[in-house]
């Protein structure tokens, strides 16, 4: 059984499962000495979602939101992803032995949907801790970057802004002036909070 688990066609999946066990062991040791991998990951990949249900399809926050990353602690979500990937891959090879180039895309697709399903239900049991980030009112004057699509007056699009904690927030922005159009990659300055969007002007650095 060990030979099967360590075989070349199972290598990505066995590595994934091994990482899960390694993280679990490190987290256990970390708790004994006052360190936490979970807190480290939250700081390293700190992303906050603002109005995530209203973001345009295809946006970064919309995609990650669909996977419920914003509803679970990063460590829990990562363990779900790695465990799903490893277990699905090994199980698939156990049932029907196929080349890695064929099992890998199948496993990735299955992992995405399994992670979403499990994260959706786990988020009701293990909610994510409140962010340490400042309130959205402090975003006034902050520079944001358009991440997807185009924004015109009355038609906002997604932008990302970092707060004083270097935490990312995804917001909806639209130009203050009706003649302006914001495009992907453009930097803008947030000037006024609306009900669910921000008015912004082009940034000239």
Whole-structure pTM value: 0.61
Say if residue 70's pLDDT is above 50: yes
Say if residue 51's pLDDT is above 50: no
Q: Give the start-end residues of each E strand in the chain.
A: 47-49, 143-146, 150-151, 157-162, 168-175, 182-183, 187-193, 198-202
| Segment 146-183, tens digit of pLDDT | 988 888 998 888 888 887 777 778 788 999 988 899 99
Range in 111-115, 123-127, 169-173 the model is least confident about: 123-127
Region 136-202: CATH code: 2.40.50.140
| Segment 13-39, tens digit of pLDDT | 999 999 999 988 887 776 666 555 665
The residues of the chain that CATH labels 2.40.50.140 are 136-202
Burial of 185 (0-12, 13-18, 19+ CB in 10 A): exposed
User: CB-based contacts of 58: which residues, under 8 Å, 6+ apart?
Assistant: 148, 149
């Amino acid at each position: 059984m060990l030979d099967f688990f360590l075989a070349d066609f199972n290598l990505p999946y066995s590595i994934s499962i091994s990482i899960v066990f390694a993280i679990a062991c490190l987290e256990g040791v970390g708790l004994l000495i006052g360190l936490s991998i979970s807190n480290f990951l939250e700081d390293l990949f700190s992303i906050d979602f603002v109005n995530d249900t209203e973001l345009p399809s295809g946006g970064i926050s919309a995609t990650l939101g669909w996977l419920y990353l914003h509803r679970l602690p990063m460590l829990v979500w990562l363990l779900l992803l790695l465990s799903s990937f490893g277990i699905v891959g090994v199980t698939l090879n156990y049932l029907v032995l196929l080349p890695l180039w064929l099992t890998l895309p199948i496993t990735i697709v299955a992992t995405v949907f399994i992670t979403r399903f499990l994260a959706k239900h786990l988020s009701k049991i293990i909610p994510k801790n409140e962010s340490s980030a400042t309130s959205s009112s402090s975003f006034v004057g902050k520079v944001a970057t358009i991440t997807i699509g185009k924004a015109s007056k009355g038609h906002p699009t997604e932008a990302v802004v970092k707060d004083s904690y270097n935490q990312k927030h995804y917001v909806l922005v639209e130009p203050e002036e009706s003649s302006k159009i914001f495009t992907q990659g453009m930097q803008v300055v947030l000037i006024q909070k609306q009900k669910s969007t921000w008015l912004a002007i082009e940034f000239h650095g």
